[in-house]
Amino acid sequence: MFIDCKSIAKSIDEETIALTRLTKPKLVSLAVNPDEGTISYLKSQQKKAKSLNVEHEIFVLDSVEILSEKLLEFSKDETVHGIFVAHPLPKGADELQVASLIDPEKDVEGRNPVNLGRLMYGEESFAPCTAAAIVEILTRTTQLMGKNVVIVGRSNTVGLPLSVMLLRRDRSATVTVCHTKTQNLEEKTLQADIVVVAVGRAGFLKPEMVRENALVIDVGINVVGDRVVGDVDPEVEKKCSLTPVPGGVGVVTTAILMNRVARIASRGGKV
């Protein structure tokens, strides 16, 4: 069974529209030498923003140096409420340095180390958007307390922050984080009530790797031929509840991002 993520996103969008009736939020998105896929994503982001009455500007830049200047400029600009930086950054760029230049109160993606530090204390207003989207889907779909959760992937934007969020006392899941060096991965996923997959490999999680009626969250976005596919084999849907790709985690992530911009604007610069 596929999980209806579009309905979850719609409910978040409704709150955003209510907020934008009272104020005029502005989001700026920046990219350094982006490829066609990134440009396409930013345009779809802009279309989404327009539908929610969020002003949106895209800046395509030639270097990380210019990006750094723009981040400092927009962090000080009181008319800008949210700052988004497209990834991946060019090879050799210092991810930590770039993230640190964004005002933590405008860091709608939750990449600034200040916001990641706050996450350790249970403050999730600026949690990484994809991790926040997964938590939103899970809390609307199941009871997390005491559940065994296996996360496959340990990135700073999904696996690591998600593990912290699921361990929070009001959720109290039991979390195992796996990665490319994990031995006997299938043994661990077969024991899980919930499996989250964020490895960037098309069809990585096979039906034989999950138990019947498990809940599976597919974070992957992979282009295969002319199709966009996830990290989970679609056949998993026949035995588990599964988020679709496309139309799954991604739509909730974008809804949360736009909602943050609107909330920052409505509360005078703070979520």
pLDDT confidence of residue 36? 84
Strand 222-224 with 227-229, pairing: antiparallel
pLDDT at 8: 98
Alpha-carbon distance of 84 to 35, in angstroms, equals: 16
Share of the chain above pLDDT 70, in %: 99
Alpha-carbon distances of 21 from 7, 14, 134, 156, 263, rounded to whole Å: 21, 11, 28, 34, 12
Residues 3 and 248 sit within 8 Å (Cβ to Cβ): yes
Q: Which residue has the tokens 């600034």?
A: 112
Residues 202, 130, 128, CA angle at the centre, nearest 5°? 135
Cα(112)–Cα(110) distance, integer angstroms: 6
Domains of the chain (ranges, CATH numbers): 22-105 (3.40.50.10860), 129-250 (3.40.50.720)
Order of strands across the sheet that contains 82-85: 55-61, 26-32, 82-85
Cis status of the peptide bond prior to 246, with omega within 30 of 0: yes
What is the tens place of the pLDDT at every residue in 108-147?
999 999 999 999 999 999 999 999 999 999 999 999 999 9
By the 8 A CB rule, do 189 and 205 touch?
yes
User: Residues with Cβ < 8 Å from 233, sequence gap 6 or more?
Assistant: 203, 204, 205, 206, 207
Q: Which of 54-68, 180-194, 216-230 comes out lowest in average pLDDT?
A: 216-230
* Contact assessment for residue 87 and residue 31, using Cβ atoms and an 8 Å cutoff: no
- Per-residue model confidence (pLDDT) at position 226: 86
pLDDT per residue over 169-200, tens digit each? Answer: 999 999 999 998 999 999 999 999 999 999 99
Instruction: Give the C-alpha separation, 189 to 196, whole Å.
Output: 9
3-state secondary structure (DSSP) of residue 271: coil
Three-state DSSP state, 155: coil
How many Å separate Cα 144 from the centre of its chain?
19
pLDDT tens string 93-107:
999 999 999 999 999
